[in-house]
Amino acid sequence: MVRLPFIPKEHKFFDLFEESAQNIVKAAEALKEMMDDWQFIDSRVAEITEMEHRGDTITHQIISLVHQTFVTPFDREDIALLAHTMDDVIDFIHSTADALFIYKIKSPTERAKQLADIIVRGAVEVEKAVHGLRRRKELKRIMEGCVEINRLENMADRVYRAAIAELFDNTEDIAEVIKWREIYEHMESATDRCEDVADVLEGVALKHA
């Protein structure tokens, strides 16, 4: 069992959520950097894989802490849902990087770069919103962040639809269509999960504002 430092358990929850959010931002930025500077792909994917493993560890720590804590800072169900949903974001970032490597993609498309940028922006907004959990007076800021995350997810949907349309219009190689369709789906799913995180945060904010 993972042992956490002896600090008030309420603070441990916030520390772990903030650490998870920071890890998501780092992974998102690593994916974008990989696409912007297309070289050393294997080592960059390995770096993102380490971040994904770190995300799993943080999630396990949060769930373990839920079982150890008599009074939690907010509903146990919301804590568990937030932890798993945040972990899903980094899982899809990792799935994107992994697919790019496994399928031996020669270079990223412009649509993929656009989606990577949106993922970074969504991750940054998630991090900002998660920081609002620690102080009740900042819960209203969570709502503002959730609105922006939802806007970014809508933007990602439009880019994703355009990417799929262009893929079928411009690519005759069926194998390439299959590869890129999966990659785009992973990236769009990452933004979807950011929106799911926003939904959980919004629910917490409404309950405790």
Q: Where are the domains of the chain?
A: 9-208
Going from the first residue of the chain to its last (209 residues), give the mean pLDDT of each consecutive group of 10, the final group possibly shorter. 49 94 98 96 97 98 92 91 97 98 95 98 96 80 92 97 92 90 98 97 85
CATH number of 9-208: 1.20.58.220
pLDDT of residue 203: 92
Q: CB of 87 within 8 A of CB of 27?
A: no
Rounded CA separation 4/66 (Å): 12
Question: What phi, psi does 39 have (nearest 5°)?
Answer: -160, 165
Determine the distance from the C-alpha atom of residue 205 to the mean position of all C-alpha atoms in its chain, rounded to a whole number.
Answer: 20
Looking up tokens 């899982």 gives 91
pTM: 0.92
pLDDT at 172: 81
Contact 149, 21 (CB under 8 A): no
pLDDT of residue 171: 76
What was the pLDDT predicted at 141? 80
Give one word for 165, left, alpha or beta, with left for phi > 0 and alpha for psi -120 to 50.
alpha
As a whole number of angstroms, the distance between CA 44 and CA 27 comes to: 10
